[in-house]
Structure 1
C-alpha cells in the first residue's frame, strides 16, 4: 500500500518551516553502527535524529549490537500468512540490511509466499514452513506475528541470542495477573515478561535500544498514547474524565474468517464493539498511569468501520486549571518537532486516515471543545504500519543499532 521505496539517505535538514500543514522534522547525524554476514550491494544507508526522550549522548548504548552499514541482519517472520506478517514482508522489501531467511505459517506450510499474498510475488523469499520445522541457525532476529496466547511458549523455546519483536499482546501487560484477567488464561512465560520492554518507540527509545525482547504496542494504544503521554507527563490535562472514541479499519480484526467481519455485516455502517472491556484498555491505562505516576482510568469505545486500513482516535480531555488549548498544542509541538514519524498538523487542519495509508506516520492535532476547559485531540495512523508492522521494524532497527527510519520512508498512498 506504500509508494515507491525510499531506502536511500535522507538529506540532512535543520529547522524546517511547517510545510503543507505539517511541522517539519529536524535531522541530526547518527553514528555508524556492527553484526555479520554478507553485505547487500547497491543500497545506501539512512540517518535519523536523536530521540525526543533520550539525549544524544545516550543515543547508542554500549549494549547495542553494532551493525555496520551494508551488513545483513537475517530475519525470521513467524506467522507470515496474516496481515501483520505480510506487512512486515512489504516493508522489508526496501530495507537495505534486513533479509528474510525463515517464514512460518503452519496452515500454509510448503507454499510459496507469493501464492498466499500475490501482491508480493516479486520478492525473493523462502517457502513457508511449519514453526516446528523452522531452522533458526541462519537467523539474527525475529518478528513474531502469531495470535495472542500462542506466542509465550514459542518465544520461550527460541534461541536466547535472538532479538525478538512480538506483535501480539502476550508481553504488553507487565502485571501477569492483569494479563490473566483480560486474556482468560495464566501467563505461560512470566520470566520473559520480566525481561520484555514495551515498544512505544518515541517514548521508550533507550529501553528498546537495549532490549532483547520487545512487546510491540497495539494499534489503538499507539494512536492514543502518542498524544496523551506527553500531556499527562507535563500535567497539562486532568487524569479524570478522559473519553476516547476510536475507529479502525477491518484489518485490525485480523485475517481469520469471522462472521462479524463478513462484508454484509460491516458494509455501509459502523460497528461498536468491546464497549465494556476491550483488551487494549489495560494497555492504554498502564502507559498513561506510568506517565502520571498514579492510576489513570479511561472511558474507551472502539468501532469497526468499513475500510481496509486506518485508525482514528478522538480523545476528549479536561485541561488543568489555567491551561489553554494553545498550551497543549505548543507542548506537543516541542515534544515531537524533531520526530520523523509523529507529525503535529498546523492550525485547524484535521488529521484524516487517508493521509497516512501505507506509511509509518502518526498525524495529530488539538482543538478547542465548545465546553469550556475541555479539548479534543485527534490522532490518525495506519493500523497495520505505525499500529503494528512499521513500529515493529522501527523497534528492531533500534535494537540492532541501526537508524530507526531505515526501510520505513514510504510516503502515504493518496489518493
Structure 2
C-alpha cells in the first residue's frame, strides 16, 4: 500500500477558465523540470487520461476550460517579475500540450504572482499593481494590471464578464508583441497571405476549396467563414459538441490548416497538438440567444465568432484566440475583417456563445509585412481554494 503526496497548490479561476496553480519550488523535485514526471503529475492532479471523459478522480472539470495546470516562478528574464508556464491537460488521451498559452489564465498568473509572494502588492500605484509576466510557452511578455487593496489582491468588484456568472474586480491584460513572427522575423500570417484557399475533402466542403485566414497572433488560429462550412455563426455548444461528424470535420480542417501553417508535418502529429492551432468560424453580426438565454443584439457587436478548443466548441472565447480575432479584424482584407464590415479598426466587439467581448489591437504594416504591437483586454481572477492537492505516490 502506498500513501499520497501532498503538494501546495491553489485552485484559481482566470477569465472563463480555471486551473491548478503551483509555485515551481513547491513541486516535487522530479517535476521541477520538463519531462515525463511533470506531465504524469499534472495528469494525475487533473484526473487524466479518463476514458469516461469526466475527470471525477481529479481537479479537472471535463472541459478544455477546466483541464489546466500552471507553474509560476521568479522570472529568468530581465525586467520581468515572474515566468508563467501553462499545461493543457488532455481529458481522455495520454498527453499534456505545452505548445501555447492560455490567455484567460494569464489573468490568474498576474494575481497569483502577488498571492504567492513573488510581487509586493505595496509597490502599487493608484491601487493597481503592474505585474510583468514572461509567458514561457511562447516566449512573450504579458503585462497584468492587478487591483490591490490593503496590501492584497482585490478580487471582488463589479466587473462583469460574459461566461462568468458572478462579477469580480477587473484586471487589464496587455499582450505585448503577441504575433509569432518566426525565427527570421517573417509575417504573422505564416503563408504570407491574408486569405488562403485550402484544398479540403469534398465530403467536408462541397467543391473541395475553402477560404481561410491563418494567423499567429495570441495563438495560431485558422479562421473560416461560417457560411462556407454550413453554419450561421450563432451556434451554441450543444449544436456542435453533440454531433460526432461535425467534430470530425472540424478536426480534419484544423489538421489541414496546421500543415499549411507549418506547425505540423503530417496529419498524425495533430493528435499530439490539440491545443494549437485553434480553428474558428466567423460571420457578420446578427441577433442570437446566448447560452444563458440573454439575447445578444447584432447592433451591439461587430461580428460573430465561434472557436473550437481541444476538439470541442468553447463555451465562451479563449483569451489568446481573442487576441487573434482582434488582430485579424484590424488588418483589412482578412476574413475576420470582412465579417466585421471591412476597413481599419483598433478594437472589435464580437459575439460568442456566452455573450460579447471587446478586445483592442494595434496592427500596422512595416516593409510590406503586418505586425501587431499589442493587444488589450479585460478579465478577472479569483482564488477558489488554496491548500494542498494529493497525488498517489508512484503515479508520476
Q: TM-score range by the shorter chain?
A: under 0.3
- Higher helix residue share: 1
TM-score normalized by the length of structure 1: 0.27
TM-score when normalising by structure 2: 0.28
Choose between structure 1 and 2: higher strand proportion.
2
